[in-house]
Structure 1
Amino acid sequence: MKGLPILDLAIIVIYLIGMILVGVYFSRKNKNSEQFTKASGLIPGWAIGLSIYATFLSSNTFLGVPGKAFGSNWNAFVFSISMPLAAWIAAKYFVPFYRSTGEISAYTHLENRFGPWARAYAVICFLLTQLARMGSIFFGIALSLQALTGYSMQIIMIVMGICIIIYTVLGGIEAVIWTEVVQAVVKTFGALLILYLIITNMPGGVAKVIEIGKADSKFSLGSFSPDFVNSSFWVVLLYGFFINLNNFGMDQNYVQRYHTASSSKAASKSIWLCVWLYIPASLLFFVIGSALYAYYQVHPELIETIKHQVAVERLPISASAAEILTVQNNLQPADYGDKIMPHFMVTKIPIGLVGLIVSAILSAAMSTISSGMNSSATVFTVDIYRRYFKKDITEKQNLSVLHIATVVFGLMGMIAGIAMIGVKSILDAWWELSGIFAAGMLGLFLLGIISRQTKNHEAKLATIIGIVVIIWMTFSYLLPPAYENFRNPLHKNMIIVVGTLAIFLTGLFLTKLKSQQSNN
């Protein structure tokens, strides 16, 4: 490990102070809860679009995607290909719906449709999703900075978390959006800079990267056969469509931004701006991962340090040198993909530029975490505190609860990140957790929007059945060998697909069955 040079450290400190000052600046406007959660509906559509793009382009993308491309291929890019269809549905149907309700929470209408239980269930799913998202991002950024600074991952998470909490609490959603506009530019520039440095250090340049990538099938989008057991093209396409439908359709992070726009048209345009920015940007990170793979194929001796580190982490402290070497020699690229980008930064990026790139990675993490904190605090205040504890809350008390909840969720996100230390793949961990938590609320949401005849009883029974299916798909791998036939045979990314359809289709079936019984 090595410490950062003073110049790079100064750039990072200036960036962090700048983010805090943004929060201080917008704190002058945050005199009520509407300003804190909606920014009074005065944010231009292009800024909201850049904000949503910045939330998508988290450190999971910045570090996880190159690691995934390094360890396997471009199969995960199919996730981005699925975005336009989900965006079209959201812009045409969901945005006008939320704007017409006037409700800041994405989940209030579920209580109106099915009762308090539906709202509570969706809120729990959302908050768990946010903790998983914030935790994975805290972990990702700490993994990178640990390689650069030598500081413990826990210390890095705490320092970064405090900075994010300060500017999010002070500035509210307006500070979140405008810092994300800046962060969107910084992180995109940082990615282009990293790719430039890889190519300039690569003997043979772009041509050599393409040659090695083709030879080792690094540009493959996955198998096009109807395979739902492995991570085929179709598995990722279905997963991406359902997750993006959940993101644009009922994730408070995005729904809350629709209310900050001046009109439904501006809110819809912001979704499309995000899509057309994110697709090429995500492709850029896959190119970075493939370029890193080619670079270390040409210089295999440079990667032994990473392999040794991973081998040491996997074995007990008492392991012998021979045992470490055996594990080290058996490691595959997928086993250390998330460590590749930090290693390249430590060894090949010149002084001064490291600070800029670390700031870009920080911005990738901070934008998603800050929006997650703000939206989680909003949901807690509206859907839990004001609903169950104090309905006649004053404006001053409401703002205080929002501030306290923001701090609490920031701290919980840090704890989740610390708990994830040791996870093999950031992207895999986030995709699996988000699929599990999002499946239930997306199925219930679609049932409430599409089937107007479905009532409380049918929705509740369908949700219970859907939860059972999700739990089985998630944990059936733990069944002993004697019950192997009862394990989930599908890929884990199919959990959100099957879980969502289980609730939605069961609800439709029960509704039709009840209708037939009534007619008889």
Structure 2
Amino acid sequence: MGTLDWLIVAIYGGIVIAIGLAASRKQSNTDEYFRGSRQLPWWAVGLSIIATSFSAASLLGGPGQGYNHGFLWLQLQLGDLLGYGLVIALFLPFFVGLNLTTAYEYLEKRFDAKTRSLGSFCFLLFVISRLGALLYGASLVVATVTGIPLAIAILIVGIVSIAYTVTGGITAVVWTDVLQFGMIFIGIGAGIWAAIHGVDGGFGALWQAAGEGDKLSVINLSWEPKNIYSLPTALFGYGIFAFAVAGTNQQSVQRYVSCADVPSARNAILVGWFSGFIGVAATLLLGVLLFGFYSLNTGLPEAVTGDKILPFFIVNQVPAGASGLLVAAIFAAAMSSIDSALHSVSTCMTVDFYDRYFAKNSKLDSLTVAKLLIVVWGILGILSAFYVASTEEDLLPFLVTYSAIFLGPLLGIFLMGVLLPRINANGAFYGTVVAVILIVIGTETEVLNNLGIWRSALTVPTAILLGYGISLFGGIPPRRSLKGLTLWTKEPEFKPIGRPGLGDDDDDEEYDY
């Protein structure tokens, strides 16, 4: 990293901070801070959806996956398409049509307050496991390119992330996500350019070396339940997990509800998936070309594996200018995920807990509380990053494994609400609690560990069956209370009924279903 590289990083960072500060001046209430007053364009929301999930872990882990496994990770994008399709079909009309701020408000409308709190709590557990990996991914790059200890890098990245996120609401987050996603592609392009110009024969030589190393396979049709690189597992096992992430994760839902209407939200989701497909393909291509690069040149040191391959390439092979673009891209990927995670968890805590239970007896307004919560959760994220660093696991598999523990049961609650009118509040709550306990206990057993990514596909029906069984011992939810909240009960239609003997005066009309 030379002067030019650091100048590029500094200019990029200044632009991002300027966007956040400009947006913060327009925030006067929580609707603007949390949903952008539902005036954000769907294409920007779509790019923000994928930028949120396209973290530093993706930008570091993607080339590592391409280097080790070729294009096989691309199969998971088919699982993502299945997950997003189910969200559009089952959940989107409720999230946008009911004018929600958090996904878990639906659970109170359909069940009760305790079920809403449980769903929100599951999301918080998911975020703390993910946030640590996001901070670690960015910190790894900082430590590599500057030579400072990883622990110091984690503290620096964490503090900067907290300071930036507090200044901006969802409007700033979305627009910086758009900028950051563009920066990611510029950085990947710089890495590909550096690899191509680093060998005689250019792209053709790299591609040939990758082919000889069996790194060009895209599809693996074998049935291997524990192997995420097999198509059935990637499509269905990961697809259920992707359904949980896209349909119950407040980071995604907060973007849907920032759209003006259901068609706009649907367009945003489809743009997000397509952009993600292109982004993942580009990072895998970079990894495949790096395999060719190091096959034709001196190989990688034994200690450089997985997520460390791209930082090693940046430090040792990428020329001035291109290094700055790559590092800026990794920072962009980190910030687009970290700010989203902190902002969404703040929204969730403020709306689902503070506003719901404490606001009436507090002197603090909701906007102040939301910003304070960003600081608190940022500190928790830093502590989580230290834990992730101690595990020495590859980032992408780590994120998938730990996220499945919390999001599988959460998906079960929403499916109970949308698909099964017979399930009551107690059934949904206690069925989910038991399912979470079972999966946490099961993570220590060989049987559940052998299921790999299929754990989500197992815990979802487990939660639903438990919820339905418990509901049979309780009352049947009144049909009137279900209207507009399940796929089988339409929105209530209000018809004026004139009171007998009082004529047709509107003031004397009563309304019935």
Show structure 1 runs of 5+ residues with no match. 311-335, 478-486
Corresponding residue of 1:39? 36
Task: Quote the Cα distance in structure 2 between the aligned partners of 1:510 and 1:399.
Answer: 39
For 1:194-343, what aligned pairs fall within 5 Å after superposition?
A: 194-221=191-218, 223-231=220-228, 232-299=230-297, 301-304=298-301, 307=302, 309=303, 336-343=305-312
Number of residues paired by the alignment? Answer: 474
Compute the RMSD of aligned alpha carbons. Answer: 2.3
Task: Pick closer, same or farther for the CA change 1:84–1:489 going to 2, 3 Å.
Answer: closer
Letter in 2 for 1:432: T
1:504 has 2:464 as partner: yes
Distance in 1, matches of 2:324 and 2:449, equals 46
Structure 1's 349 and 126: CA in aligned 2 closer, same or farther, altered over 3 A? same
Query: For structure 2, which runs of at least 5 residues remain unmatched after alignment?
Result: 477-513
In the aligned structure 1, how far is the partner of 2:84 from the partner of 2:311? 33
Aligned AA (1:411): I
2:453 matches 1:493: yes
Offset of residue 361 of structure 1: 0.7
Secondary structure (helix, strand or coil) at the match of 2:448 reads: coil
Q: Please tell me whether residue 51 in structure 1 is matched to residue 48 in structure 2.
A: yes
CA distance in 1, matches of 2:454, 2:61: 20
Secondary structure of residue in 1 paired with 2:393: coil
Cα distance in 2 between the residues matched to 1:509 and 1:382: 31
Looking at structure 2, the residues matched to 345 and 381 of structure 1 have their Cα atoms a distance apart, in angstroms, of 41
Measured in 1, the distance between the counterparts of 2:104 and 2:449 equals: 33
Q: Specify the alignment match of 1:406 in structure 2.
A: 374
Aligned partner letter, 1:417: A
Q: Which moved more, 1:373-382 or 1:103-112?
A: 103-112
Using the alignment, how far apart are the partners of 1:230 and 1:170 within structure 2? 42
Which amino acid counterpart does residue 98 of structure 1 have in structure 2?
A: F
Of 158, 161, 164, the match for 1:161: 158
* SS at 2:214 equivalent: coil
CA deviations 1:365-392 (Å, max 9, x no partner) are 0011101111100100111222232346
In structure 2, distance between residues paired with 1:505 and 1:196 = 53
How many Å apart are 1:508 and its aligned residue?
A: 4.4
Determine if the alignment matches structure 1 residue 125 to structure 2 residue 122: yes
Indicate the residue corresponding to 1:447 in structure 2. 416
CA distance in 2, matches of 1:489, 1:253: 27
Q: Is the 8 A contact 1:80 1:240 kept in 2?
A: no
- The aligned amino acid for 2:453 is N
The whole-number CA distance in structure 2 between the counterparts of 1:230 and 1:160 is: 33
Give the structure with the higher percent helix: 1
Find the aligned partners of 2:461 and 2:200 in 1 and give their Cα distance: 50
Q: How far did 1:107 drift?
A: 0.5
**Could you tell me whether the CA contact under 8 Å between 1:22 and 1:167 is conserved in 2?**
no
Q: Distance in 2 between matches of 1:392 and 1:174?
A: 30
1:9 matched residue in structure 2: 6
Partner of 2:318: 349
Which one of the candidate residues 92, 96, 101 is aligned to 1:95?
A: 92
Shift in Å, 1:302 = 4.4
Pick from 67, 74, 78 the counterpart of residue 75 of structure 2.
78
**Letter paired with 2:386:** I
For 2:265 and 2:217, locate their aligned partners in 1 and report how far apart those are by CA, in whole Å.
35
> 4+ runs of 1 displaced by more than 4 Å?
508-516
CA contact (8 A) 1:386 1:393 kept: no
Cα distance change on mapping 1:216 and 1:514 into 2, 3 Å: farther
Give the TM-score normalised by the residue count of structure 2.
0.87
Whole-angstrom CA distance in 1 between matches of 2:421 and 2:445 = 34
In structure 2, the partner of 1:462 is 431
Normalization by structure 1: what TM-score? Answer: 0.86
User: In structure 1, how many angstroms separate the alpha carbons of the residues matched to 2:292 and 2:308?
Assistant: 15
Letter in 2 for 1:476: T
Secondary structure, aligned partner of 1:229: coil
Among candidates 173, 176, 201, match of residue 170 of structure 2: 173
The residue identity in structure 2 corresponding to 1:289 is: G
